Each structure stands twice: as structure tokens, then as C-alpha cells.
Chain A
Amino acid sequence: MKASNILSKKNKILLSELVKTDFKLRYQGSALGYLWSLLKPLMLFAIMYVVFVRFLRFGAGVPHFAVALLLGIVMWTFFLEATNQGMQSIVGRGDLLRKINFPKYILVISATISALINFLLNLAVVFVFMIFDGVNFGWSALLFPLSVLMLYLFSLALAFFLSAVNVKFRDVGYIWEILMQALFYATPIIYPLQTVLNYNNFAGRLLMLSPVAVLLQNGRAQLVGHENVITADQLFSNPIWLIVPYAIIFAVAILAALYFRKNQSKFSEQI
């Protein structure tokens, strides 16, 4: 089902048609159209900035905390969108699955790619802010795509698993929503990791075993600068702990692929 087939010409065309359609239809009927993909995270950022940075004074004294917050929100939004849209991708196209046979995984990939495109648009805005904020990009910025790639891989793996489970149990949508809410607060997005470390060193380290937290912090460090952001490799001396998040990503990817593959032939009957 994977590598050999994924890039076949037929499937590529279908994938591009699905992504194109999704892009065309996303802001159908709204006056501002695609601008909303940029406005949404910006407004979210504005709220968080006022509440947490100005009012609660999170990250006071941390240089470039505001752009780091924006980048964090944008990356988180991508993760949230990719997993949510991916989860709904199979059930949402039940009309197609019941009528025609085509590779099911294309639906999941197309949903996550739509989220990825949105993310790249948002990223452009983040860059503009960074330039205004006087961020000096170092060589490490070249590693940023790697963090994005890992985050995408993790989202895709989760999307495969969630979409397959969602066919049988629609509850997964609600469960996932709550889990994501919890994970949002368990990830150093609106607060600096240092705050947690000061409060409880163990809790701070525990947070940094989560793939999303690690990738977010890495991404921030790569773009905004290492001196402002604490990354996993600064926390752990034992390299085992550095591997854990990546091990989680690959484990989830393999399990999700196996689960999806096992169940996909029954999707059309169960939806």
C-alpha cells in the first residue's frame, strides 16, 4: 500500500485534484476568502498575547517571546488541523467510498496536505513578524524544515490511526478533542518551559518527552535562536531521553499504518 504505490501517476493526480478542490472550497462564500487562513492564527495570537504576555506577564524578560509564541501557535494549529481533518477524511467522504474503489489513504494524505499548505501560508506571516522583531536567523534555521517534516509525519501517522478508528467509533472525535485540549496545555506554547522547570524540574522534563513539545521547541530554537528557547538536548544528559519522542513518532507511524491497512477494505461497508 505504501511507498511503491503512493507515487503512482494515477494516485498523484487524484491527490492533487483532492487537494485543489479542498483549497478551492475551503473559504467558499466568505468575503475575505484565503485571508482567513492568515487571520485565524493572527487573531488567536493577539488574544493569547494580550492575555498571557501583557496581562499575566508570561515570558517576561525572554527576548522574542512574542514571535516564539506566534510560531508555537502556528505549529500547534497545524498539528491540530492535520489530525482533525485527517481523522474526518475517511468518514467525511463516505459518499465516495461507497460508490467507487480508489486508494483510501489518498483521502488522509490529501487532508493533511491541505493543513500543511495552510501552515506554510501562516509561516510566511510568522517570518514577516520575525523580521520586524529583529530576529537574527542563524544557520540552524536551515534545520527548521526537518522539524516541520517530523511534525507532519507525526500528524499523518495519527491521522491514519484516527481516521480508521473513526469509521467504527465516532466517539474518537470527542475523545481526541479533549486530548488535544489537554495536550495544548501540556505543551510549552503559551508559557515558557523555564517557568515549569523552575516550579518542578521533573514535570518540565516530563513535558519534553512529548514529540509535539520537542518539535515545537526545536522549531523555535532553530528560527528564533537557541539562547531564548530550552530544547530537549539541554535538559537531558542521557541520550535515551532524547530518542524517546522520535521513538514514539515511529512507533505510532508503524502501528497506524498496520491498523489502517488491516481495516481499509471494510471501510466502504462500515461507514
Chain B
Amino acid sequence: MSDKGIAISVKRVSKNFKLPHEQHSGIKQVITNLFKKNKKRGYEIQNVLDDISFDVKKGEFFGIVGRNGSGKSTLLKLISEIYVPDKGNIQVNGSLTPFIELGVGFNPELTGRENVYMNGALMGFSNKQMDAMYDEIVKFAELQRFMDQKLKNYSSGMQVRLAFSIAIRADTDILVLDEVLAVGDEAFQRKCSDYFRRIRNDKNKTVILVTHDMASVKKYCDRAVLIKNGKIVLEGGPLDVANEYTLINYDTTNTTSGTTANTNVDNNTKKDIYKLAVKPISDQVLKSGNNMTVEISYKLEEKSDLAAVFPSVALYINNAPIVFDTIRDKGVKNKIGINKVRYSYSTNDISEGSEVKFIAELWRRGQYRDSDTELAFTDMKDAVIFKISSTTGSPNGDIFHKRGLWGYND
């Protein structure tokens, strides 16, 4: 009945949760609900996963990505048999060890050694299996000297290291990991990274990784699915999925832009008066060399504004405010009503993997350049975000390409 090459088969799985409107784990609530005249249910049903199907092949490094609340953790719990699906079924071939959270069952009053064995017992390993794994776990966690001390005397980093070492040393066919990559100091991270690379090439081990970190998806995953609102949006290669994920993250940022309901005080309320808005025109995830283009719109009603008001943009590259560009000198051709201005900026010089945010501003020309006054600007939360895609993985933290030249002076 089981396909040899398939490690996990998820077939048409749906999962609903009852969300009580108020706390109903009390007999009083049940009784009052019983006598309520209008039998309105005290809960609403949230469809967390809706008809999800996919297969994970044996030996694959499989990623599950999605925004917060998309249902990916629920999916993980279903695969780990912590939850039972309402509809459909999940078939797992081989032993599976879930790490929904690191250090499940860790008790601060027990020693490191005792905790390792307790954790192992929870995952269903025999003492003999644990004996075999123990030394490696301790070595990997670099905690040889501390194993007979109580866990409460460990630093948080040490605890996480121990937990993570158990997780990845677990001698199991299928490993299920939920956002665990960002632990430990740099040296430990490098070790983990090495381990993931190794396990990626190990055709006997299947890994399912749930993460927000697109860099690790690109680095380790063979395949990935993107989940949005309980449905699979995309199943495919890690690059496609990572880029799509980046895009849907920006989409939601845009839907809020323009719809103001601004709570900001001071001059920013003027943004509404001028109906200042900024929206993307080019692709928001783009290759280096393409132009990032935005359209700024604003409304002018006073004749006296026509010659004096001009738009401007501020660019934030990787959160650093770098470029501040204006069209003051180009001469503005304003008209009464809505004005639309386009602004393009080349990505040529910007480092791959960077994120660029555009914010629109509106200025009034002063007598001198220094005396220009800012009338309004769009909020940071409404910023238009561009992502310069990277083929190599994570952004290197640079803002610009290093294109300097060295020369000798003789």
C-alpha cells in the first residue's frame, strides 16, 4: 500500500478549529449556552487548512513556507500526528521525529544528561539507542563539562544548543523541523549549516523544514510549498517559492497603502489632504539591472500650489536612508486635481538581495533651496518595497556593489 519512494503523502487534508468567542471551558458556560434563546454558537469555525495535498519523496529536503497564520504549523502538527485531520489522510513511511519546538519536555530541575534521556524517551527512543547517540549529542552541543549540572544553570544559548543537538542527532528517517535555524552563536550556526548540507545529500534522511528564512530555503531545500490562507499557492523549486513568498509579503503591504485612517499626528495628516500615495509600477521582485519604478500621485486644489509644490521620494536601502532624490530642479508641471508622477531608479549599483523601500514626499518650494518645507509624506508602513533577487542566497548586508578599484601610486 505504500509507495517506496514516498516518505510522506498528504492527501486532501482539511483542518478546522473551533474558536470560542469567550472562554467556554466551564460548566457554567455550557449550561448558559443550553438555555440561550437564540442558539447562536459560542464559537466560529476557522478553516485552517483547506484541501491540501502534496508528496514528499524519500531523501528530500522539503520546505514549507508561508506567512504567520497561514496554517503551516498546523500542517506540521498534522504530519507529526499531534493533531488529527478532519478530512483526508496523511501517510508517513518510516520513523518520524518532530521538533515543533526545541527542548520539548525539558525540565530545569533535571541535569543535562537526564533531560537528554527524557527527551529521547518522549521521541520514542530506547535507552540503548540513546546511549548510542548520547556522546555525539553532547559533543555537537559542546557541553561536555556541563552535562551533570541542572538545566536551570545553563544559559539560554546552551539550552537551545543541547535541544538542537538532540534534534539533529536523532537517528530517524524523517525529521520535522519548525523554524529552528536561528539558534546559537555564529560558530554553532556554521555547524548547523554544515549538518544541513550533509543531511541534504543523505538520501536516507528526509527533512521537512518550516521557516520564514528564505535564505535557508534557497540554501538547503530541494523543493518547497508555499501556503497562503490554508491553501497551497505554489509547489516547486526553492527559488520560485522563495521569490513568490517575498512577493506575497509585499502584496499585503500594498493593499493597506492609500487606505489611510491615519493615526499619525503632526503634519502627516496633510497626506490625506493632498491624497499623497505611492504605488509600484515595475515588478517588486526584480533582477539586478532592472529599474524600480513607482508612481506618486497627489492632489492639488489651490492655484497658488501649482508652481510651488513638488514631489520627492526617499529611498531606504536595507533600512538605511541613503538616497534622497527630488525633481525640484526638473521643473514641475502641476495641474489642478490629481497629479501623477513616475520615478525610476536603477538597481545596477545596489547589492543583490537588498530590499529597497520607497516613500513619497510632498514639498513646498521656499525662497532658497534650504527653506523648502515638507508638506506631507507617506507612512513607512505604506512604503513600496522592492526586492532585488539573489541567486546566491542571503543578502550579504552590503548596500552597494563593491566596484572600487585599487591602484599603485608609483
* Among candidates B27, B104, B126, residue contacting A96 with C-beta atoms closer than 8 Å: B104
Given contacts A21-B118, A269-B17, contact A14 B124 (CB under 8 A): yes
Binds B, one of A54-62, A70-78, A165-173, A193-201: A165-173
Binds B, one of A98-106, A121-129, A249-257: A98-106
B107 and A21 form a contact (CB under 8 A): yes
Cα separation A10 to B126 with both chains bound (whole Å) = 6
A262 CB contacts on chain B under 8 angstroms: none
What's the tally of chain A residues with a CB closer than 8 Å to chain B? 27
A10 and B100 form a contact (CB under 8 A): no
Given contacts A97-B82, A100-B82, A102-B122, contact A169 B110 (CB under 8 A): no
User: Quick one: which of A150-184 are within 8 Å of B by CB?
Assistant: 168-171
A28 and B126 form a contact (CB under 8 A): no
The answer, yes or no, to whether B142 is at the interface (CB within 8 Å) is no
In the assembled complex, the CB of B222 is this many whole angstroms from the nearest CB of chain A, namely 26
What's the tally of chain B residues with a CB closer than 8 Å to chain A? 30
B17 CB contacts on chain A under 8 angstroms: 269
B107 CB contacts on chain A under 8 angstroms: 21, 25
B83 and A100 form a contact (CB under 8 A): no
Residue of A nearest to B23 (CB): A170
B124 and A102 form a contact (CB under 8 A): yes
In the assembled complex, the CB of B305 is this many whole angstroms from the nearest CB of chain A, namely 59
In the assembled complex, the CB of A174 is this many whole angstroms from the nearest CB of chain B, namely 10
* Among candidates A14, A100, A269, residue contacting B104 with C-beta atoms closer than 8 Å: A100
B110 and A100 form a contact (CB under 8 A): no
* Among candidates A9, A24, A98, A168, residue contacting B25 with C-beta atoms closer than 8 Å: A168
Contact with A along B74-115 (1 / 0, CB 8 A): 000100111110000000000000101100110101100010
B253 CB contacts on chain A under 8 angstroms: none
In the assembled complex, the CB of A8 is this many whole angstroms from the nearest CB of chain B, namely 10
The answer, yes or no, to whether B127 is at the interface (CB within 8 Å) is yes
Residue of A nearest to B25 (CB): A170
In the assembled complex, the CB of B84 is this many whole angstroms from the nearest CB of chain A, namely 5
Given contacts A13-B121, A17-B121, A21-B118, contact A171 B82 (CB under 8 A): no
Given contacts A14-B121, A99-B100, A169-B26, 5 further A-B contacts (CB under 8 A): A10-B124, A13-B125, A14-B124, A25-B109, A100-B104
| B residues whose Cβ falls under 8 Å from a Cβ of A | 17, 25-28, 30, 77, 80-84, 98, 100-101, 104-105, 107, 109-110, 114, 117-118, 121-127
8 nearest CB pairs, A to B: A17-B121, A101-B81, A99-B104, A14-B121, A99-B100, A265-B84, A171-B27, A10-B124
